[in-house]
Amino acid sequence: MTAHPHLSELADQYGTPLYVYDLDRLDAARHDLFGALPEEFDVFYALKANPHVDLVQALREGDGRACRAEISSTGELAAALQAGHDPGTVLYAGPGKTPGELREAVEQGVRLFSAESLTDLEHIGEAALAHDTVADCLLRINDVTARAATGVRMTGRPTQFGIDSETIAGLAPRLCSVPGISVAGLHLFSQSNAADEQALIAEFEHTIDTAARIERELGVPLRLLDIGGGFAVPYGQRGERTAYPALRAALGAALDARFPGWRQGTPRLAVESGRYLAGDCGTLLATVSNVKVSRGRTFVIPDTGINTFGGLSGLGRILPVSVRVESESTETERVTLAGPLCTPGDTLGRDVEVPAGLRPGDLVAMPNTGAYGPTASLLMFLGRPAPAEAVVRSGDVVSVSRIEHVRTYRKVKRAHD
Ligand SMILES: *Cc1c(COP(=O)(O)O)cnc(C)c1O
């Protein structure tokens, strides 16, 4: 496959490594996700996937329905506000919210939080009370029976996320009486990147059953039920977003059975997604710096590595990236795609099919890189500049930007002064 001519022009103009985000594709993903859900559903965009303000803003405005913002830091809060989100519609989640972050979020107008434990709930309540207000909280649940529906009965593992579901009944009186808190609903997020629609449906059905049971144990009617996500798109590889043609009807049926008032808004329903919305709008362009052979194996070394794409390699994964290249050649060969960093960990793929005979100066393109790109990468490691990020709409460049790191010094008191 050859790189789109427009992409090579952008690479010429702005240099590589260069991310190109196509807002038309972002719109299409949003349209497809809303279309796969009953119309009563809200969609939270998890800024973790890509907090670029132009993307966050595009997901909020335009012809389609607006995504709400799900954030878990003051940096993401700033991006959401800059993108025009009303702080009152934002969901603040995450296992380690500090008192300072919570205070700032409440001051900025955030009123909806996901609480991961009783102490987290108390911290949110303290921040709300300090601001003379009450915060709506979703209780995040670590479901002891998650995935039972797919045939693999797992006891819920210990994790830093959520409140163990089996403890809810006993904790209910305390959870529901934290000063400064109104328990608004539940948040269950049990999986990512589920490319199998039937498995995803089974998971959601199970989640809805669990939520109905927990509602009874809490004795508080749910106003908002966030059933999580898991919508899939290839990551750095060729391929299409998964389609979910049966999901809408299946969710409707499961909710009718457990929450008869849901079509009237009791509870309101939500899902959340990062990668499905942002993943396929992005292409990472890189220039081959060097090609070498070591003991019979070919190494292609572009000007991009885990400093630019693939900080999630911290999870111990090798990214099986695929590349497109500006080349008429139909012959291919298998190479190791190694980044420029001085660590063997900087390997983008060990058995990557590329057009035969790549040379220094050739442009390569990595598809489906709109989510978990720059901000999920080891941006500062080995001191290379962050990649440029170009946003395009209908073939026109909307913006070009780059994240900069600067060390700022603070005044220190010295013993001898
Ligand atoms: C990471 C995360 C998401 C987004 O996951 P994707 O796989 O990118 O859709 C959504 N919700 C929560 C709570 C998360 O931690």
**Co-location of 237 and 298 in the same domain:** no
pLDDT band at 323, cuts 50/70/90?
Answer: low
* Structure tokens given for 383: 């001191």
Q: Is residue 17 part of a domain?
A: no
**Ligand 1 centre from 273 Cα, in Å?**
6
Take atom 4 of ligand 1 and give the residue whose Cα is closest. Answer: 274
**Co-location of 267 and 384 in the same domain:** no
For 339-395, how does the pLDDT look when each residue is reduced to its tens digit (9 = 90+)? 999 988 888 888 888 888 999 999 999 999 999 999 999 999 999 999 999 999 999
Q: Which residue has the higher pLDDT, 145 or 313?
A: 145
Percent residues over pLDDT 90 in the chain: 79
Q: Is residue 30 part of a domain?
A: no
Q: Angle at which helices 74-82 and 53-60 pack, to 10 degrees?
A: 60
SS3 52: coil
For 198-227, how does the pLDDT look when each residue is reduced to its tens digit (9 = 90+)? 999 999 999 999 999 999 999 999 999 999
**173 HSE (CA, 13 A, CB side):** 1
**Co-location of 245 and 388 in the same domain:** no
Report how far residue 374's alpha carbon sits from residue 305's, in angstroms, rounded to the nearest whole number: 11
Report how far residue 26's alpha carbon sits from residue 19's, in angstroms, rounded to the nearest whole number: 14
Report how far residue 48's alpha carbon sits from residue 59's, in angstroms, rounded to the nearest whole number: 14
**Ligand 1 centre from 229 Cα, in Å?**
7
Please say whether the beta carbons of 21 and 54 come within 8 A.
yes
Report how far residue 246's alpha carbon sits from residue 252's, in angstroms, rounded to the nearest whole number: 10
Which residues approach ligand 1 with their CB closer than 6 A? Answer: 46, 48-49, 93, 189, 192-193, 229, 272-276, 371
**Co-location of 41 and 87 in the same domain:** yes
- Total of domains in the chain: 2
Take atom 7 of ligand 1 and give the residue whose Cα is closest. Answer: 192
**Co-location of 56 and 169 in the same domain:** yes
**Ligand 1 centre from 160 Cα, in Å?**
15
Q: For a substitution probing ligand 1, which of 273, 312, 315, 375 has the most ligand atoms within 8 Å of its CB?
A: 273
The average pLDDT across 148-171 equals: 75
Burial 345-378 (b: 16+ CB within 10 A, else e): bbbbbeebebbeebeeebbbbbbbbbbbbbbbbb
**Co-location of 210 and 263 in the same domain:** yes
For 22-75, how does the pLDDT look when each residue is reduced to its tens digit (9 = 90+)? 999 999 999 999 999 999 999 999 999 999 999 999 999 988 899 999 999 999
Give the other-Cβ count within 10 Å of 335's Cβ: 22
Give the other-Cβ count within 10 Å of 160's Cβ: 10
**Ligand 1 atom nearest to 274, measured from its CA:** 8
Q: Is residue 26 part of a domain?
A: no
Q: For a substitution probing ligand 1, which of 48, 187, 275 has the most ligand atoms within 8 Å of its CB?
A: 48
Q: Which of 273, 301, 324 is the last residue of a domain?
A: 273
**Ligand 1 atom nearest to 273, measured from its CA:** 9
Task: Indicate whether 152 pLDDT > 50.
Answer: no
Q: What is the pLDDT of residue 4?
A: 63
Task: Indicate whether 193 pLDDT > 80.
Answer: yes
**Co-location of 137 and 224 in the same domain:** yes
Report how far residue 105's alpha carbon sits from residue 359's, in angstroms, rounded to the nearest whole number: 50
The average pLDDT across 115-138 equals: 98
Q: Is residue 27 part of a domain?
A: no
E strand residue ranges, 36-106: 41-46, 68-71, 91-92
Q: Is residue 415 part of a domain?
A: no
Q: What is the pLDDT of residue 153?
A: 42
Q: Which of 273, 297, 327 is the last residue of a domain?
A: 273
**Ligand 1 atom nearest to 49, measured from its CA:** 8
Q: Say whether pTM exceeds 0.85.
A: yes
**Co-location of 66 and 180 in the same domain:** yes
**Co-location of 206 and 355 in the same domain:** no
C-alpha R_g of the chain: 23
**Ligand 1 centre from 1 Cα, in Å?**
31
Q: Is residue 257 part of a domain?
A: yes
**Co-location of 239 and 286 in the same domain:** no
Q: Is residue 4 part of a domain?
A: no
Please give the residue range of the domain that contains residue 195: 36-273
Q: What is the pLDDT of residue 148?
A: 44
**Ligand 1 atom nearest to 272, measured from its CA:** 10
**Ligand 1 centre from 208 Cα, in Å?**
18
Please say whether the beta carbons of 26 and 278 come within 8 A.
yes
CATH of the domain at 132: 3.20.20.10
Task: Indicate whether 119 pLDDT > 60.
Answer: yes
**Co-location of 325 and 363 in the same domain:** yes
Q: What is the pLDDT of residue 308?
A: 94
Q: Is residue 28 part of a domain?
A: no
Q: What is the pLDDT of residue 311?
A: 57
CATH of the domain at 387: 2.40.37.10
Q: Whole-number mean pLDDT of the chain?
A: 91
Q: Which residue has the higher pLDDT, 258 or 325?
A: 258
**Co-location of 265 and 301 in the same domain:** no
pLDDT band at 279, cuts 50/70/90?
Answer: very high
Q: Which of 273, 290, 316 is the last residue of a domain?
A: 273
Q: For a substitution probing ligand 1, which of 50, 139, 192, 276 has the most ligand atoms within 8 Å of its CB?
A: 192
